[in-house]
């Protein structure tokens, strides 16, 4: 039987589908998503939860003229399938394929790209003001989850929206879940609304009341009516009202009919900021995902996983648990990523010392700084890409006051399928420029344990940055020891060329050295361990002996580890050293598997070998330090 989905190339086609057939379409969309995500990996439960909401939005609004701004963008698969991307949907998150998030380059139906949470209301407000300034009349709709709305930036935008008072729609997609259950006082308030019977009655009654109205002007009072009539019940109207919004809801987010009805009313009548509270079930329609929405938030592609070797995140959590047992002042902070950082084992034993602060990276860092002022040792467990959010907090609240906050930075370097918005390729640059900060990166999971121990003992702001995925499978030392700050290690001696590698790049550099040996090239490999402070003695002595130096890092070259090495050699007067920096050029790294992307940037053993051979066979002048700008552009 032909599929309804096959007939839809744009929201206009969707509008031609009869209301009676929409449930069938919803089922087809769910099947398509499950089929694809099983192969490609991706965000499953969040997308299954917004099937009906997305259908209703595209039937009521007129995208791309009307702007629908999805927060995070991880739940935009249905939207992609309905906006001309179904034929490429099987390339989701694959190298060269469509992104797992919204992306302006990909479609005119994506008015704003995302990947990080909580930007939708701000971005949509920009569009609202642009519309008003230009004297136009399109609709702007921000769709945000109950997790993402907890971030400060969301409230900053709501605050402005209420102040300006322009016509604007915020759809709060409330499923009670972030990746883990949503935390915080707002989450408690919303869950009272979701679960409370009187609210369900309100919902039914408001529908009846609406049904009694004819379409048109009278309905303009609907929002105010609902607010007045039921104020004092558990509906959180006072909160939204105080922010200058009309509150509508809660609405059953799996009833297309209800949503079309309510959305049409507000679209036709509302003149001010309006928040439409839609209640959905994460994982809807796929019982396993409904029962375990945490696990099914994001699933790996077939064949993905760690092949039985512990991931760096797991080793981080196991070490943190050990350290928490020894050090009663140690506390752990996660901005909404307890699962990704494997913190469940720490939380199980020390529930009062693990704090999930919600999707609030800025608060996480300043909260840690506050704890540190009182003698606690906060460990901020955070992904590299999300820590970008807290740049000023690291500078102003932690480093300027030289407070001993440990940053356990997961997903440093190339992360893979999540793509441009999630690559951890900037942290070495943005952390090493800050005074007082120590920045370390372990060569393997055993060294991760020791560096975490070192960081906790250091009494300094210190970041330990490690990659996404499994460790190397090396044995773990039973006893933890401190590593002197700023001390690297020579892991292999050779006289033709020296590779100084950072973190995850050490292992492929060792492999490259073995390949180079087969070509008769004698290679030193240094595990730098610290991007700051650099091991000055080790590096300058090395440059005295070996005149060809290659640095390797999974970070952008601009402001990266390699540049610091060049600066050190220059400042030490070692101008006759030839240096080549291997790393990420000045671009955003798209999606694809980690191995494909590492190969693309020459960061795997093949690429490092090739570049060393190239360097040794190139003219000497191309790499002399005095020509360093040229050297850097020979990537
Ligand atoms: C700044 C930032 N921090 C953390 C994340 C990781 N993350 C992706 S989705 C998500 C949960 C979002 O929850 P919610 O907004 O309620 O959407 P749902 O998945 O429940 O539909 C989190 C924490 C992110 N994308 N961006």
Using CA positions, which residue lies closest to atom 11 of ligand 1? 178
DSSP 403-441: ---EEEEES-B---TTGGGT-B-SHHHHHHTSTT-EEE-
Residue 236 pLDDT grade (very low, low, confident, very high; cuts 50, 70, 90): low
Q: What is the mean pLDDT of residues 131-160?
A: 97
Mutate which of 114, 171, 336 to test ligand 1's pocket (most atoms within 8 Å of Cβ)?
336
HSE-CB at 96 with a 13 A cutoff on CA atoms is 2
Q: Is the CB of 547 under 6 A from ligand 1?
A: no
Q: Is the CB of 387 under 6 A from ligand 1?
A: no
pLDDT of residue 621: 63
Q: Is the CB of 443 under 6 A from ligand 1?
A: no
pLDDT of residue 1: 73
Largest Cα–Cα separation, the chain: 88
Quick check: helix, strand or coil at residue 270?
Answer: coil
pLDDT digits (tens, 9 = 90+) for 350-381: 999 999 999 999 999 999 999 999 999 999 99
Residue 280 gets the label, from left (phi > 0), alpha (psi -120 to 50) or beta, of: beta
pLDDT at 199 over 60: no
CA of residue 151 to ligand 1 center, whole Å: 10
Q: How many whole angstroms separate alpha carbon 57 and alpha carbon 461?
A: 47
Q: Is the CB of 386 under 6 A from ligand 1?
A: yes
Q: Is the CB of 171 under 6 A from ligand 1?
A: no
CATH 3.40.50.920 in the chain is located at 489-632
Contact 592, 94 (CB under 8 A): yes
Q: How many whole angstroms separate alpha carbon 179 and alpha carbon 241?
A: 28
Residue corresponding to tokens 């050029």:
585
Q: What is the mean pLDDT of residues 241-256?
A: 94
pLDDT digits (tens, 9 = 90+) for 447-498: 999 999 999 999 999 999 999 999 999 999 999 999 999 999 999 999 999 9
CA of residue 360 to ligand 1 center, whole Å: 11
Task: Report which ligand 1 atom has the smallest distance to the Cα of 179.
Answer: 11
Q: Is the CB of 61 under 6 A from ligand 1?
A: no
Residue 633 pLDDT grade (very low, low, confident, very high; cuts 50, 70, 90): very low
Q: How many whole angstroms separate alpha carbon 322 and alpha carbon 332?
A: 13
Task: Report which ligand 1 atom has the smallest distance to the Cα of 182.
Answer: 16
How many angstroms separate the Cα of 346 from the Cα of each of 149, 318, 333, 415, 442? 27, 8, 11, 24, 22
Q: What is the mean pLDDT of the chain?
A: 92
Q: Is the CB of 100 under 6 A from ligand 1?
A: no
CATH 3.40.50.970 in the chain is located at 5-291, 312-465
Q: How many whole angstroms separate alpha carbon 635 and alpha carbon 627?
A: 14
Q: Is the CB of 47 under 6 A from ligand 1?
A: no
Q: What is the mean pLDDT of residues 147-153?
A: 97
pLDDT digits (tens, 9 = 90+) for 62-80: 999 999 999 999 999 999 9
pLDDT of residue 500: 98
pLDDT at 306 over 80: no
- Verify whether residue 85 is a known catalytic residue: no
Contact 433, 559 (CB under 8 A): yes
CA of residue 338 to ligand 1 center, whole Å: 12
pLDDT digits (tens, 9 = 90+) for 348-357: 999 999 999 9
pLDDT at 423 over 80: yes
Q: How many whole angstroms separate alpha carbon 242 and alpha carbon 322?
A: 46
- Verify whether residue 389 is a known catalytic residue: yes
Please tell me which residue in 32, 106, 361, 563 is annotated as part of the active site.
361
Task: Report which ligand 1 atom has the smallest distance to the Cα of 115.
Answer: 25
pLDDT of residue 232: 40
β pairing state of 497-501 and 523-527: parallel
Q: Which residue has the higher pLDDT, 208 or 258?
A: 258
Task: Report which ligand 1 atom has the smallest distance to the Cα of 118.
Answer: 1
Residue 207 pLDDT grade (very low, low, confident, very high; cuts 50, 70, 90): low
CA of residue 148 to ligand 1 center, whole Å: 6
For the domain made up of 5-291, the CATH class stated in words is alpha beta
Q: Is the CB of 172 under 6 A from ligand 1?
A: no
DSSP 200-225: HHHHHHHHHHHHHSPSSGGGGGHHHH
Contact 570, 625 (CB under 8 A): yes
Using CA positions, which residue lies closest to atom 12 of ligand 1? 178
How would you class 606 by CB atoms within 10 Å of its CB: exposed for 0-12, middle for 13-18, buried for 19 or more?
Answer: middle
Q: What is the mean pLDDT of residues 180-194?
A: 86
pLDDT of residue 235: 59
CA of residue 33 to ligand 1 center, whole Å: 19
Q: What is the mean pLDDT of residues 9-22?
A: 98
pLDDT of residue 618: 86
Using CA positions, which residue lies closest to atom 19 of ligand 1? 46
pLDDT of residue 264: 97
User: How many other CB atoms are found less than 10 A from the CB of residue 405?
Assistant: 30
Q: Is the CB of 146 under 6 A from ligand 1?
A: yes
Mutate which of 147, 172, 184 to test ligand 1's pocket (most atoms within 8 Å of Cβ)?
147
CA of residue 225 to ligand 1 center, whole Å: 33
pLDDT digits (tens, 9 = 90+) for 498-547: 999 999 999 999 999 999 999 999 999 999 999 999 999 999 999 999 99
Q: Is the CB of 179 under 6 A from ligand 1?
A: yes
Instruction: Determine the CATH number of domain 312-465.
Output: 3.40.50.970
pLDDT at 300 over 90: no
Mutate which of 180, 359, 365, 383 to test ligand 1's pocket (most atoms within 8 Å of Cβ)?
359
Q: Is the CB of 332 under 6 A from ligand 1?
A: no
CA of residue 357 to ligand 1 center, whole Å: 13
Give the CATH number of domain 489-632; options: 3.40.630.10, 3.40.50.920, 3.30.420.40, 3.40.50.720.
Answer: 3.40.50.920
CA of residue 117 to ligand 1 center, whole Å: 5
């Amino acid at each position: 039987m032909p599929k309804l989905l096959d007939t839809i190339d744009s929201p206009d086609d969707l509008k031609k589908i009869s209301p009676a057939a929409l449930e069938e379409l919803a089922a087809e969309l769910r099947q398509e998503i499950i089929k694809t995500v099983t192969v490609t990996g991706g965000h499953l439960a969040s997308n299954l939860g917004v099937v009906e909401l997305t259908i209703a939005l595209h039937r009521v609004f007129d995208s791309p003229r009307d702007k629908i701004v999805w927060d995070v963008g991880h739940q935009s698969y249905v939207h992609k399938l309905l906006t001309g991307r179904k034929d490429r949907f099987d390339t989701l998150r694959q190298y060269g394929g469509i992104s797992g998030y919204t992306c302006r380059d990909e479609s005119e139906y994506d008015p704003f790209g995302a990947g990080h949470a909580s930007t939708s209301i701000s971005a949509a407000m920009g569009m609202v003001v642009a519309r008003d300034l230009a004297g136009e009349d399109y609709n702007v709709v921000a769709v945000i989850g109950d997790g993402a709305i907890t971030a400060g930036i969301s409230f900053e935008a709501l605050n402005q929206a209420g102040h300006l008072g322009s016509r604007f729609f915020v759809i709060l997609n409330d499923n009670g879940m972030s990746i883990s259950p949503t935390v915080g006082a707002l989450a408690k308030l919303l869950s009272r609304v979701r679960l409370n019977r009187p609210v369900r009655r309100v919902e039914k009654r408001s529908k009846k009341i609406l049904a009694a109205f004819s379409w048109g002007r009278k309905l303009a009072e609907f929002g105010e009516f609902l607010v007045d009539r039921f104020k004092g019940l558990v509906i959180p109207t006072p909160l939204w009202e105080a922010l200058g919004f009309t509150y509508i809801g809660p609405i059953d987010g799996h009833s297309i009919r209800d949503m079309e009805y309510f959305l049409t009313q507000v679209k036709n009548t509302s003149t001010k900021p309006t928040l439409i509270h839609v209640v959905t079930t994460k994982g809807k329609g796929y019982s396993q995902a409904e029962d375990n929405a945490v696990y099914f938030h994001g699933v790996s592609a077939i064949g993905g996983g760690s092949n039985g070797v512990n991931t760096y995140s797991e080793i981080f959590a196991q070490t943190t648990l050990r350290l928490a047992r020894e050090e009663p002042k140690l506390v752990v902070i996660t901005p909404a990523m307890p699962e990704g950082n494997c913190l469940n084992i720490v939380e199980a034993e020390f529930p009062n010392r693990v704090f999930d602060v919600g999707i609030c990276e800025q608060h996480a860092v300043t909260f840690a700084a506050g704890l540190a002022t009182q003698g606690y040792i906060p460990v901020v467990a955070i992904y590299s890409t999300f820590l970008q959010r807290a740049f000023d907090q690291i500078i102003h609240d932690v480093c300027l006051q030289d407070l001993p906050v440990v940053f356990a930075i997961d997903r440093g370097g190339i992360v893979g399928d999540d793509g441009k918005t999630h690559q951890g390729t900037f942290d070495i640059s943005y952390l090493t420029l800050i005074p007082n900060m120590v920045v370390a990166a372990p060569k393997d999971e055993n060294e991760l344990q020791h560096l975490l121990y070192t960081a906790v003992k250091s009494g300094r702001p210190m970041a330990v940055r490690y990659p996404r995925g499994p460790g190397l499978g090396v044995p773990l030392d039973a006893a933890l020891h401190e590593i002197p700050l700023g001390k690297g290690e020579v892991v292999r001696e050779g006289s033709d060329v020296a590779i100084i590698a950072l973190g995850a790049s050490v292992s492929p550099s060792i492999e490259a050295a073995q390949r180079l040996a087969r070509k008769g090239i004698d290679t030193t490999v240094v595990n730098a361990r610290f991007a700051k402070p650099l091991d000055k003695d080790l590096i300058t002595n090395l440059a005295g002996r070996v005149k060809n130096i290659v640095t390797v890092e999974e970070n952008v070259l601009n402001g990266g580890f390699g540049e610091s090495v060049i600066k050190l050699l220059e400042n030490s007067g070692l101008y006759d050293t030839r240096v080549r920096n291997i790393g990420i050029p000045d671009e955003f790294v798209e999606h694809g598997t980690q191995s494909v992307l590492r190969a693309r940037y020459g960061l795997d053993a093949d690429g490092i070998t090739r570049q060393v051979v190239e360097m040794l066979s190139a003219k000497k002048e191309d790499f002399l330090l005095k020509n360093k700008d040229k050297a850097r552009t020979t990537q």
